[in-house]
Amino acid sequence: MPPRGKDPTGPKPASTALAFYTEARRSALLAEQPGLDSKELQRAIAEEWKAMEGTSRAPYMEMAHKDKLRYEEEAATHVPDPAQLKSTEAKRPLRDPHRPKKAKSAYAFFSEATRQELSSAMPDMAIDALTKLISQEWRKLGEEQKAPYNAMAVQDQARYDHEMGAYHPELEVGEDEDEDEDFDGDLEAENAYLKRKVAKYKVKMAGYEKKIAAQESQIEELQAAKRAKTEKGGSKKVASTDEDGGATSKAAGSSNADVKKDDSHYLAWCRKVLGEAGELADDEMVSVYEAKGEPGLVKLLAKLYKAEHASS
């Protein structure tokens, strides 16, 4: 259900045990220490709560439990204002489809099991009436009858905690919906929906365009190296002072290459492992080129050549 701040008609959220204790203790503590400001007061109450034993906390824990059941029952029967739903839907951020599903409460498990049974027995019953009947049946249950559903809730909470521990929010937006929504002529809601879809496509396309641009840049640089080498007239010896000799030529003339000045064999080997335009480069070569550029690739080629021909 939507939070109360977004839906004024929604049920009041359940209070915690600490909230109930704070409400009961605030006036007395202010009377004892009238100089406390709001932050100091809250801190003092929190410290008292931490020091309390389980038996002292029990009344407030029970109040919180009952208030949680109250909220779940009210939320199950609450019908949000359609106009409010459309307004919040237009502002709702895109959800990560990989995020673990939230844990269910004991009442939710009971509601699922009972709804199916009652729907089969009374197929003509309206949804609102069915929901109210389920809520009434839940109130009639004793603690022993609720125990199986409480156990299911504990187990599902453990599942959720485990999955959240391994969950890492996705950087990319989730996949598109399988089917378009039906807006019943509400142009404002449909416009908001289409804007969200366009935003998702833009995020995806930006990622693809970045990858394509990087690949095209790499191909252009390797092709430029090939053209520069060809323009030298096919010379098999390349001086170390060449400025545009390409990756293989620079490696041949580099002092780091540690190869013979008669480098025809080395150039042939470079063409063998790189290809004419870098199309044969393996993953290591591509990674080094992307990370360190042409100088890094030159050093890697010289190292690989030296290792491969060390025994010769």
Q: What is the pLDDT of residues 272-297, one digit of tens each?
A: 887 776 767 787 887 787 777 777 88
Please tell me whether residues 77 and 117 are part of one structural domain. Answer: no
CATH classification of the domain holding 23 = 1.10.30.10
How far apart CA 302 and CA 298 sit, in angstroms, is 6
Q: Do residues 29 and 113 share a domain?
A: no
Q: Is 121 strand, coil or helix?
A: helix
Residue with tokens 């080997």: 269
- Distances from the Cα of 68 to the Cα of 16, 161, 304, angstroms: 8, 20, 67
The count of structural domains within the chain is 3
Domain membership flag for residue 181:
no
**Residue finishing a domain among 44, 67, 92:** 92
User: Do 194 and 303 sit in the same domain of this protein?
Assistant: yes
Is the domain of 36 the same as that of 70? yes
Task: Give the distance, in angstroms, between the CA of residue 101 and the centroid of all CA atoms in the same chain.
Answer: 13
Residues 80, 13: one domain? yes
- Considering the domain architecture, whether residues 66 and 143 belong to the same structural domain is answered as no
pLDDT for 188 equals: 67
Residue 217 belongs to what domain range?
A: 189-308
Enumerate residue ranges in the chain where pLDDT < 70.
1-7, 81-95, 168-190, 199-216, 232-263, 277, 279, 311-312
Q: Note the pLDDT tens digit of each residue in 226-270.
A: 777 777 655 444 344 344 445 444 444 444 444 444 457 777 788
Contacts 24+ apart (CB under 8 A), 132-140: 132/77, 134/76, 134/110, 135/73, 135/76, 135/77, 137/110, 138/69, 138/73, 138/107, 138/110, 138/111, 138/114, 139/73
CA pseudo-torsion sign 66, 68, 70, 76: negative
Residue 178 lies in a domain: no
233 is a domain residue? yes
How far apart (Å, rounded) are the C-alpha atoms in residues 228 and 224? 6
Long-range contacts of 37-45 (CB under 8 A, 24+ apart): 45/18, 45/21
Specify the DSSP element, H or E, that contains 16: none
Indicate the pTM of the whole model: 0.30
Q: Domain for residue 159, yes or no?
A: yes
Q: Is residue 282 part of a domain?
A: yes
Cα separation, 144 vs 26, in Å, equals 36
Of 60, 77, 92, which closes a domain? 92
Nearest in space to 15 (alpha carbons), one of 28, 27, 24, 2:
24
Domain assignment present for residue 161? The answer is yes
Same domain, 86 and 110: no
Considering the domain architecture, whether residues 98 and 116 belong to the same structural domain is answered as yes
DSSP state of 276: S
Distance CA 258, CA 236 (A): 17
C-alpha span between 206 and 183 (Å, rounded): 29
Whether 173 is in a domain gets the answer no
Q: Is residue 176 part of a domain?
A: no
Residues 149 and 238 in one domain: no
The whole-angstrom separation of Cα 259 and Cα 301 is 11
